[in-house]
A and B are shown apart, each in its own frame.
Chain A
Amino acid sequence: MIPAVDYIRILPELVLSIFGIIVMMVDPVLPEQSPKKPLGVIAVIGVLAALAATAYQPGFYGSAFYNTVSVDTFSVFFHVVVLLIALVVILISFEYLDVQRIRSGEYYALVLFGTVGMMLMSAAVELVLIFIALEISSISTYILAGMRRRAAESAEASLKYFLLGSFATAFFLYGVALIFGATGTTNVYGIAHYFQTQQASVLAYLAVGLMFVGLGFKVASAPFHVWTPDVYEGSPAPVVALMSTGPKAAAFAVLLRVLFATGAPGWFWMVWVSAALSMTLGNIGALVQQNVKRLLAYSSIAHAGYLLVAFAAAKQVGISAAIFYAASYAAMNVGAFAVIGHFASEGEKYVTLDDYAGLGRRSPLLAATLTIFLLSLIGIPVTGGFFAKFYVFSAALQSNLVGLTIIGVINSAIAAYYYLRVIVYMYMRDERVEAPVARIPAGLGVGLAISLVATIYLGVMPGRVLDYAIQSAQDLLK
């Protein structure tokens, strides 16, 4: 008999799934050619309800369903992050779907289901459940990537993401199987116990490596990053906002919980190399991009690298720095893609740097907002991105990772150049093409405001969130 409290422990996931089903059921009732905004409103209500359910959870920490799900400060943190991402993404999708004439009601349902998967990834402590959650989130995003079905590049993105993604998931599954072979359990606590008490076998090394490949693909860290630019370029901008932050944060949560916190063997050098490669390849790739979406795709590879630096650091400081980074990266990146999605206009025509020339004059507010997100991505003070980088590098230095810190610091200086290029185009160049700028609708306004407030809040008063991150790290290491 499953105790009732177990259902409270997965209440946010339950609520969101129910709302996803409601969206699916209401969709056929609406007239076919009408905008699907009502479905979006339902989805927003669903996310808010799930947030409320998450807020209710701190009284019920503990594991549920035969020790397969664990609700702790860590999972609650990622729940909130993922839900806020979903909220903003849905809000910015209202206008986007209208402009692109996408009339698919399942869009909102897929966002909700994907979010359920991501939330579950951060709470699951059983590898099989993690795999299922990973699939839920991945399959939703595969489909979402192809939502602009009239555009060839969107179909390409979807297919590419699907094929490579399945390939990577297979690696993960293979790793899970080997872990079971090596340790005799698929429970995270059991695995941790094994790693801490026994000499790791070759099998265990192999298993950790394979799982890292699978998850490394999801977080777009080098050398598993090659899919990122094409997929981000082709997918609808709000979907990129979602998939560059949500599944990434969730996959990082899995990496933290399953591999980092358990003390997996062979972990350090794997992460070290991947972090150094991601930062360097991502930043160098971004330097030559003309398409803003591709530029941010490379930047997201680089940011995965910065985040992995924290994974190479000592556990306590590393985990809290990584958690903080994931949250602030989500805030700024969702914001940036929200602006890009709005500005891209019908058929995502205006996405190159040349189209951004003179944006500061045509749309001062939008340009200023994008500037703040870009500054945050550079890591300039008063923004969350600054503290995120700061914590990561200070965690690395506290763990005596001088080499990796220097690589990271040099990389963030290189990165300044290409983000700055966007700002330069917006403010300092005269426009060559007259790209129209529509008024900012309410949904986008609210979505941007949330990201902006979060970015600035994390940059000015990071204390509370960081305290929470430290608390989560302690819980995770218990």
Chain B
Amino acid sequence: MKFINDNILTIVVFLPLAGAILLAFFPRRDRDVRYFALAVSLITLLASLHLTWYFVRGQSGFQYEENVPWIPHPNIHYHMGVDGISLWLVILTTFLMPLCVLISWKSIGDRVKEFFILMLVLETAMIGVFVALDLFLFYFFWEATLIPMALLIGMYGHGRKIYAAVKFFLYTMIASVFMLAAILWLYARTGSFDFVTIQGMIQSGQVSGFGNAALWLFLGFFVAFAVKVPLFPVHTWLPDAHVEAPTAGSVLLAGVLLKMGTYGLLRFNLGLFPEQARRNAPWIIALAIIGIIYGALVAMIQPNIKRLVAYTSVSHLGFVVLGIFSFTQLGVDGAVYQMLSHGISTGALFMLLGMIYDRRHTYELSEFGGLATPMPVFATFFAFIMLSSVGLPLLNGFVGEFMVLSGAFQAKQLYGILAATGVIWSACYLLWMYQRVFYGNVTKPVNSSLRDIDARERVSLWPLAIAALVMGVAPMLWLHSIDPAVSAALKQFSGVTQAAVLPARNSPAAPGPPLHADFARNGVEVIGR
């Protein structure tokens, strides 16, 4: 038991990679390959549940830490650990992975072995990003996510897949070299890549020349993360990548890869450069709000459903960035929560779209209409997930958005007012899309004979639907461990941390009936205690 406890992060990170390596020597029998990939991803999920089980809630700081020297010169450590923020992102990754395997069961028929190898390698890299505490190790995993994802898009995507894959790769690659430069600068001045050490040295002012370089370092990290989030002017890779990617690729892209950006902003930009973060917050928030509104408006007019959902990510991730840069306990808590719930609901939306695509091989809105008649079960699932994405109270989307907006109001009222419109927009475009796809008469004859979803597809949707409900009803299960980590992250922004204890104001941001607003307020008070 002790062995497992001490090495659990290594186990969780490298189980998928080990699976991928074994898979490489597997005979090319597609059925067995699929079962094996499913088994590996399920075992990884089980292993990652160990993290939640033994995680000491209500405690800030990193747990399950592993720290051994890896390379002596330069001083690189194999340093991993999770806190309340990264813990759930790891779980989100391992939770989505088996579902992604299931959803690709039939839609991937060609080069099946390579597909699952890439998926498993990608899983290792994604988990690694969230648990790495050595800047070098972080960069290592960060870059390592790039190749499998680009290959997944380019090899298994549709339409302009090569364009999308190359665009995705170049955007992220070019942005992340700036982060590498910043990391190298920090190493040159501190002699360490260790996140905790560097943070300590910066706080105690031991880094020479930091004052002049801080802005550039902040921007170096910021550019890399902003592209990944993606923040407003650099979001253009996202619709292309999403639309052309295979379903599982879209799910992981939206569900996990985008979170790497917001996680990085929270962990590194806030953690290492609090002063610069505060100074630059106004324009970053402005970009986030532009992203919220712009993403929503552009989503509304898309003729392609998948592109529509892709733009909702731009909008929803804007909320996350807004929450993070509000520097309020409530806002950041909400941002972390929104990351998780966006992973669940947008992941589920992409899975649902994949199911339509498997049947019709198109995403054009005009091709659909009245789908509720031939596919009632599918329509029900879709409605449920869509409402969770809209932010209907009692479902997961509401909690995060509500907390982010409350935090934004605490930071500055204007932010809250502007961002709150995003909630209305999201209701508009998603409900309108739902109406056009599912209601009315069946407009195209081919659609009248579509199969409803089968058992495998239901099995892959149920966990997400349940998660959406539980996250909406009992957010405390998550916030209990998120909250201490966030308050530790905000310690450097003293003065604003207390704000969270205040009961949330009855803001116009809460679209739900008073009952739910009360519920959320109670929730906030529970955190406060």
Contact = CB atoms under 8 A, between A and B. Distances in A.
Interface of A: 360-361, 364, 375, 380-382, 386, 390-391, 393-394, 397-398, 405-406, 409-410, 412-413, 416-417, 420-421, 423-424, 427-429, 461-463, 466-467, 470
Nearest to A425: B162
A417 B72 contact: no
Which 7 A-B pairs have CB atoms at the shortest separation, nearest pair first? A428-B154, A381-B140, A413-B174, A463-B71, A397-B188, A409-B177, A398-B188
Nearest to B153: A428
Contacts of A397: 181, 184-185, 187-188
B147 A466 contact: no
Contacts of A410: 177
Contacts of B11: none
B452 interface: no
A402 to B, nearest CB: 8
B14 to A, nearest CB: 12
8 contacts: A380-B144, A380-B146, A381-B139, A381-B143, A416-B169, A420-B169, A428-B154, A429-B162
Contacts of B151: 423, 427
Contacts of B140: 381-382
Contact of B165 (A391, A413, A424, A470): A424
B161 A393 contact: no
Given A381-B143, A397-B185, A424-B162, A467 B72 contact: yes
Contact of A428 (B139, B165, B184): B165
Interface of B: 70-74, 111, 114, 139-141, 143-144, 146-147, 150-151, 154-155, 161-162, 165-166, 169-170, 173-174, 177-178, 180-181, 184-185, 187-188
Nearest to B216: A402
A424 B184 contact: no
B139 A470 contact: no
Given A380-B144, A397-B185, A409 B166 contact: no
Given A405-B181, A424-B166, A394 B143 contact: no
B154 A427 contact: yes
A360 B144 contact: no
Contacts of B147: 375, 380
A309 to B, nearest CB: 13
A394 B187 contact: yes
Contacts of B169: 416, 420
A416 B155 contact: no
B155 A466 contact: no
Contacts of B161: 428
Nearest to A375: B147
Contacts of B141: 381
Contact of A416 (B70, B74, B173): B173
Contacts of B178: 409
B155 A413 contact: no
A416 B144 contact: no
A421 B162 CA distance: 10
A412 B169 CA distance: 13
Given A413-B177, A416-B170, A416-B173, A467 B165 contact: no
A360 B147 CA distance: 15
A321 to B, nearest CB: 11
B155 A428 contact: yes
Contacts of B173: 413, 416
Contact of A360 (B155, B165, B174, B177): B155
A361 B110 CA distance: 10
B146 A406 contact: no
A356 to B, nearest CB: 14
B114 A364 contact: yes
